[in-house]
């Protein structure tokens, strides 16, 4: 059964994933009825474990017949009828040799290239416009060709997304300040780096996503690891907002690390994958120090970053359910540890 299609609503938080059996969701949505029973099994006879109200966000693991399997606040699993959930955010993977151009408008003729993704990059898809998807990755967003995006699971969640007409779409605007903040290459810079675009939206540049620069943006900061940890802990419990940059009002994982380190004179790339590729130097897991950046993701693709605080723990902007919180550096579930960088 297909999920109910709706007009795009306010986006909820994303935790990227590559395989359906692991801890985090494949799609995100909201409750579309006044009160919805959440059950411990995919059948009406199953016990009701809680109720959720109209507009509440849900994190979806998979689809089982007419039911959706959800992740609850305590990381347990439960089920709801699929017809009562509006899906409006789906995790997907770039599938192209070389790079995939990201445009400010869903058209090869009228859309300007504002960056690119690399093969295997995990992205979030919001809706479709003809042959294009509206996508985002940690504050960087635009339009890409559908031909080079695939579902991150066997479930075809992409087909459940709402469709928009071209007449509903306004051209995205990227100011100079925004471009610098998210490390997006503009037309001028991309024309000098050998990246070429074609009518199919793919790019010949096989390097990393162009919303990150190849330069190392780390500068010598005066903060110590203890000072970084103390400063970061001030924001415990504050909200997670995908693409956000406010430590008080809402921030995502790489926005959190960027803003924390900025307080100590250290400038980082805006995405977690770019921070891992470009900032600081690599350190082993057995030599972690307070203030080190710790990276997570699937199949070697970085999609989350945290700050090591000592004692086998990290502080990070985790997701919408937990906000900024403290977790174990080596989690028992969810995204596996990939590596660490030292920027202090």
What would the pLDDT profile of 121-144 be if each residue is shown by its tens digit?
Answer: 888 898 889 999 999 877 678 899
| pLDDT category of residue 174 using cuts at 50, 70 and 90 | low
Residues 244 and 186 in one domain: no
Residues 143 and 289 in one domain: no
Q: Confirm whether 219 is domain-assigned.
A: no
Q: Confirm whether 127 is domain-assigned.
A: yes
| pLDDT category of residue 22 using cuts at 50, 70 and 90 | very low
Provide the token pair at 100: 């995939």
> 143-146: which pairs have CB atoms within 8 A and are 24 or more residues apart?
143/102, 143/103, 143/104, 143/105, 143/106, 143/111, 144/94, 144/100, 144/101, 144/102, 144/103, 144/117, 144/201, 145/100, 145/200, 145/201, 145/202
pTM assigned to the model: 0.52
How big is the chain, counted in residues?
Answer: 344
| pLDDT category of residue 293 using cuts at 50, 70 and 90 | very high
Q: What is the CATH number for 282?
A: 3.90.1720.10
Percent pLDDT > 90 in the chain is 33
Q: Confirm whether 15 is domain-assigned.
A: yes
Residues 192 and 328 in one domain: no
* Higher-pLDDT residue of 255, 162: 255
Comparing C-alpha atoms, which of 301, 313, 289 is closest to residue 338?
A: 301
Using the 3D structure, point to which of 179, 211, 243 is the last residue of a domain: 211
* Higher-pLDDT residue of 250, 187: 250
| pLDDT category of residue 7 using cuts at 50, 70 and 90 | very low
What would the pLDDT profile of 104-115 be if each residue is shown by its tens digit?
Answer: 999 988 889 988
Does pLDDT of 21 surpass 90? no
Burial class (CB in 10 A: 0-12, 13-18, 19+), 321: middle
Residues 114 and 192 in one domain: yes
Q: Confirm whether 156 is domain-assigned.
A: yes
Residues 205 and 61 in one domain: yes
Burial class (CB in 10 A: 0-12, 13-18, 19+), 145: buried
Q: Confirm whether 43 is domain-assigned.
A: yes
Q: Confirm whether 220 is domain-assigned.
A: no
What would the pLDDT profile of 50-104 be if each residue is shown by its tens digit?
Answer: 998 888 888 888 888 889 888 876 667 899 998 998 887 888 888 888 889 999 9
Highest mean pLDDT (candidates 96-110, 190-204, 214-228): 96-110
Average pLDDT over residues 261-287: 89
* Higher-pLDDT residue of 62, 293: 293
| pLDDT category of residue 151 using cuts at 50, 70 and 90 | confident
Cα distances from 13 to residues 39, 94, 121, 140, 287, in angstroms, run 23, 20, 18, 15, 32
pLDDT at 185: 33
Percent pLDDT > 70 in the chain is 75
Helix (H, G, I), strand (E, B) or coil at 291: coil
Average pLDDT over residues 10-35: 52
Residues 20 and 110 in one domain: yes
Domain count along the chain: 2
Using the 3D structure, point to which of 211, 245, 275 is the last residue of a domain: 211
Residues 61 and 202 in one domain: yes
Q: Confirm whether 322 is domain-assigned.
A: yes
Instruction: Report the alpha-carbon distance of residue 42 to residue 65 in Å, rounded.
Output: 8
**Domain range for 230:** 225-342
CB hemisphere CA count around 336 (13 angstroms): 8
Residues 151 and 127 in one domain: yes
Instruction: Report the alpha-carbon distance of residue 290 to residue 282 in Å, rounded.
Output: 14
Average pLDDT, the chain: 76
pLDDT at 25: 53
Instruction: Report the alpha-carbon distance of residue 265 to residue 213 in Å, rounded.
Output: 19
* Higher-pLDDT residue of 110, 314: 314
Residues 258 and 170 in one domain: no
pLDDT at 173: 59
Q: Confirm whether 101 is domain-assigned.
A: yes
Residues 184 and 231 in one domain: no
pLDDT at 221: 37
| pLDDT category of residue 235 using cuts at 50, 70 and 90 | very high
What would the pLDDT profile of 325-337 be if each residue is shown by its tens digit?
Answer: 999 999 877 788 9
pLDDT at 204: 47
Residues 101 and 243 in one domain: no
Ranges of H-type helices in 16-152: none
Does pLDDT of 6 surpass 70? no
pLDDT at 203: 54
Using the 3D structure, point to which of 211, 242, 265 is the last residue of a domain: 211
Residues 100 and 176 in one domain: yes
pLDDT at 172: 66
């Amino acid at each position: 059964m297909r999920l109910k299609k709706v007009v795009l609503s306010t986006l909820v938080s994303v935790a990227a994933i590559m395989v359906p059996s692991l801890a985090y969701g494949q799609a995100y949505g909201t409750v579309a009825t006044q009160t919805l029973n959440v059950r411990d099994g995919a059948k009406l006879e199953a016990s009701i474990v809680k109720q959720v109200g109209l507009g509440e966000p849900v994190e979806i693991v998979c689809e089982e017949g007419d039911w959706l399997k959800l992740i609850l606040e305590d990381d347990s699993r439960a089920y709801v009828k699929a017809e009562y959930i509006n899906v409006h955010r789906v995790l997907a993977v770039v599938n192209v040799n070389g790079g995939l151009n990201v445009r400010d408008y869903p058209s090869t003729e009228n859309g300007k290239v504002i960056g690119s993704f690399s093969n295997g990059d995990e992205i979030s898809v919001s809706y479709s416009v003809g042959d294009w998807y509206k996508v985002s990755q940690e504050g960087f967003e635009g339009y890409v060709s559908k031909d080079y995006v695939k579902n991150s699971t066997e479930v075809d969640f992409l087909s459940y997304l709402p469709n928009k007409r071209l007449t509903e779409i306004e051209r995205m605007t990227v100011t100079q300040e925004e471009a610098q903040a998210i490390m997006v290459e503009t037309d001028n810079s991309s024309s000098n780096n050998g990246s070429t675009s074609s009518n199919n939206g793919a790019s010949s540049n096989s390097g990393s996503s162009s919303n990150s620069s190849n330069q190392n943006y780390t500068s010598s900061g005066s903060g110590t690891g203890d000072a970084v940890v103390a400063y970061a802990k001030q924001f415990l419990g504050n909200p997670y907002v995908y693409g956000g940059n406010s430590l008080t009002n809402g921030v995502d994982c790489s926005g959190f690390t960027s803003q924390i380190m900025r307080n100590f004179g250290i400038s980082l790339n805006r995405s977690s994958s770019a921070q891992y590729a470009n900032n600081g130097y690599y350190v082993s897991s057995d030599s972690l120090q307070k203030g080190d950046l710790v990276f997570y993701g699937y199949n070697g693709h970085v999609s989350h970053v945290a700050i090591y605080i000592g004692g086998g723990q990290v502080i990070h902007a985790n997701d919408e359910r937990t906000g900024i919180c403290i977790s174990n550096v080596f989690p028992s579930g969810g995204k596996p540890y990939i590596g660490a960088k030292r920027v202090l």
